[in-house]
Amino acid sequence: MTTLFFTVIPPDIDAAAIETAAALLRAGEVVAMPTETVYGLAANAFDPAAVKKIFVAKGRPQDNPLIVHISRTEQLYDLAEEVPEAALRLFEAYAPGPLTVILKKKPAVPDAVSAGLPTVAIRMPSHPAARALIEAAGVPLAAPSANLSGFPSPTNADDVSDDMTGRVACILDGGPCGFGIESTVVTLVTDPPRLLRPGVVTLEDLQKILGPVEVDPAVLAPLERGKAAASPGMKYKHYAPKAALTVAKGNLADLLLALYRAPGAYDHVLCFEEDAPFVPLPAVTMGKRSDPLTQTPRLFDALRDLDRAGAENALAAAPERTGVGLGVCNRLYRAAGFRFVEPDPARGRIVGLCGPTGAGKSLAAGALRDRGDLVIDTDLIAREVTAKGAPLLQTLEEHFGADILLPDGALDRKALASRAFASSEGTALLSSLTHPAIAKETVSRALEAIDRGQAAVIDAPLLYTAGLDAVCDRVVKIDAPEEVRLSRVCARDGIDETAARRRMDAQKDEYRMSEQADAVVMNDGDMKELIAKALAAVDG
Ligand code: TXA
Ligand code: MG
């Protein structure tokens, strides 16, 4: 079949395109439409023959019911036998938006939509093109995600086109989907209500409106053999890329240790942006570790990117399991077929030790070393990675000129400093060249230690600046009042107050970022107490 293709990117939605697509829908055809979650394959929900065409286009099992999309709250009454108060409250709060509610269905809803269940799933999308299409069609639209069954849901029109050209009458390109994972599905047919599929409307959001909400066990675990699925979609292997995917549960340290312990087992890594610089394999990123709303628009694309990169065995980082992260976990765990590397409880911890100059960090580091932790001093590592013969020297020479090297090939640190620190661009360039090398070496030593159960303490004046906080299980900051630090720096380095202040000022950004530390130990002058407090803080 020929597939029409129209661009309907807001705000200037082409009304003629919408009308053409709506006419196809009224004539019983299937149209791929954008929504704010993922693209959907729409057909007139009251036309069983049209709905059957969706199943054919997707290659979808007939027992998996579809969500019906509406554009006005009143349409709930055309579809649901009863519209409970709770449904209206949910719609009030989250419609239009990425939320689907399951209610008892009216007989008018064909079995092809509900897959024979006595219930119907209903949602009101917020994407302007979807809303315009439903309005123009004049009927509710049954629509599953627009992927071939079993593959990742499409979040842009190119991916839809890859899967559906020749299989549907029309594709509407509404731009990339803002949320990128499918709607939250909650059933109000059970008491208490039950979350069947987590999404951008979170469990916590639902609980605020509904009170207690149960989480279906299939949200984070494979369905038990022989058990009926509350949501039939949870039975099937879903969202799977062609690559065999394994999720390393835990944090970045757990992911890196899993890679370290299984050399050659993986060829690609699916991780967060903060993680990528530490990963020793080609990496595909899925948003920021710290912000699940940057993960949802990337997730399915990232899974497709793994395939495009030719990945065969990929290891994935694990998202948080709360808030929007629960929705990301749900998709990723399924994409991985519930294959996990569990965190090793016996591994050592990686602890970042930071703090401004003059606060007493070296004292704490010494005590940690004395008790058997591996203390990695990043200043020493910085010297090593720029020692005579180190590959980094060549890179530095390319950027800063041949005269930063002495005749014997060793680094002329003074010359480099005068060149690099002359401007803020030069300083940034130097960091961008040296930090990755320092971080890489630091992490490789830390992994050796934690692998054998030893704690690795990263003693880094520029922990945050170098991005090393990302690999730490915990960050401890040693701090002291400014006046105390000032007099210590003067005494320690034999310099006057102006020079000491300049030295302290150079760490301003780091000092600001170190506000995120998990624990702060204040050095109030009692050394014994400082050490005791620092050891306790490192142990958490
Ligand atoms: O964001 C979304 O919901 C997207 C866009 C296109 O709106 N649609 C979507 O549809 O994700 P689909 O078919 O890929 O997923 C629908 C899920 C399936 O897991 C299905 O089993 C479940 O909702 N579902 C539908 N009707 C149900 C019902 N009556 N009872 C229980 N689960 C139901
Ligand atoms: Mg789907």
Report the amino acid identity of residue 351: V
Residue nearest to ligand 1 atom 33, measured at CA: 231
The CATH classification number of 350-539 equals 3.40.50.300
Three-state DSSP class for residue 103: strand
Lowest mean pLDDT among 47-51, 315-319, 498-502: 498-502
**Sequence-distant (≥ 6) Cβ neighbours of residue 331 within 8 angstroms:** 181, 238, 239, 299, 300
Three-state DSSP class for residue 469: helix
Averaged pLDDT, 466-486: 94
Pocket test for ligand 1, best of 67, 145, 296 (most atoms within 8 A of CB): 67
**CB-based pocket (< 6 A), ligand 1:** 35, 37-38, 40, 64-67, 100, 102, 114, 117, 119-121, 123, 125, 143-145, 182-183, 185, 196-197, 231-233
Confidence (pLDDT) at 537: 96
Distance of CA 135 to the CA centre of its chain: 35
Whether residue 250 is predicted with pLDDT greater than 80 in this model: the reply is yes
Averaged pLDDT, 125-131: 98
The CATH classification number of 4-217 equals 3.90.870.10
Residue nearest to ligand 1 atom 3, measured at CA: 183
Domain segments of the chain as ranges: 4-217, 244-341, 350-539
Tell me, in angstroms, the distance from the centre of ligand 1 to residue 197's CA. Answer: 9
pLDDT-derived band at 474 (thresholds 50, 70, 90) equals very high
Tell me, in angstroms, the distance from the centre of ligand 2 to residue 489's CA. Answer: 61
> Tokens standing for 514?
């170190």
Gyration radius of the chain over CA positions: 28
Q: What is the CB neighbour count within 10 angstroms for residue 421? A: 12
Whether residue 321 is predicted with pLDDT greater than 80 in this model: the reply is yes
d(CA 237, CA 251): 25
Q: Report angle CA 121, 124, 127 to the nearest 5 degrees.
A: 135
| Closest ligand relative to 38 C-alpha | 1
pLDDT-derived band at 62 (thresholds 50, 70, 90) equals confident
Tell me, in angstroms, the distance from the centre of ligand 2 to residue 152's CA. Answer: 8
Pocket test for ligand 1, best of 182, 200, 223, 235 (most atoms within 8 A of CB): 182
Element (H, E) at 196: strand 194-197
Cα end-to-end span (Å), the chain: 63
Q: Is 319 within 8 Å of 296 (Cβ atoms)?
A: no
Confidence (pLDDT) at 7: 97
Confidence (pLDDT) at 480: 94
Tell me, in angstroms, the distance from the centre of ligand 2 to residue 66's CA. Answer: 9
Whether residue 237 is predicted with pLDDT greater than 90 in this model: the reply is no
Is-above-0.85 flag for pTM? yes
Residue nearest to ligand 1 atom 20, measured at CA: 233
pLDDT-derived band at 157 (thresholds 50, 70, 90) equals very high
Averaged pLDDT, 257-286: 97
| Closest ligand relative to 199 C-alpha | 1
Distance of CA 482 to the CA centre of its chain: 38
Max Cα distance, the chain (Å): 89
Residue-wise pLDDT tens digits, 365-403: 999 999 999 999 999 999 999 999 999 999 999 999 999
Whether residue 413 is predicted with pLDDT greater than 60 in this model: the reply is yes
Three-state DSSP class for residue 339: coil
pLDDT-derived band at 61 (thresholds 50, 70, 90) equals confident
Percent of the chain at pLDDT > 70 equals 98
Lowest mean pLDDT among 134-138, 186-190, 228-232, 287-291: 228-232
Confidence (pLDDT) at 233: 62
Domains 4-217 and 244-341 alike in fold: no
Topology of domain 244-341, CATH? Rossmann fold (3.40.50)
Distance of CA 394 to the CA centre of its chain: 36
Q: Where are the beta strands (DSSP E) in 254-361?
A: 268-271, 283-285, 313-317, 340-341, 350-354
Three-state DSSP class for residue 197: strand
Tell me, in angstroms, the distance from the centre of ligand 1 to residue 66's CA. Answer: 5
Averaged pLDDT, 501-514: 90
Pocket test for ligand 1, best of 101, 119, 134, 185 (most atoms within 8 A of CB): 185
Whether residue 238 is predicted with pLDDT greater than 70 in this model: the reply is no
Residue-wise pLDDT tens digits, 395-405: 999 999 999 99
Whether residue 160 is predicted with pLDDT greater than 60 in this model: the reply is yes
| Closest ligand relative to 239 C-alpha | 2
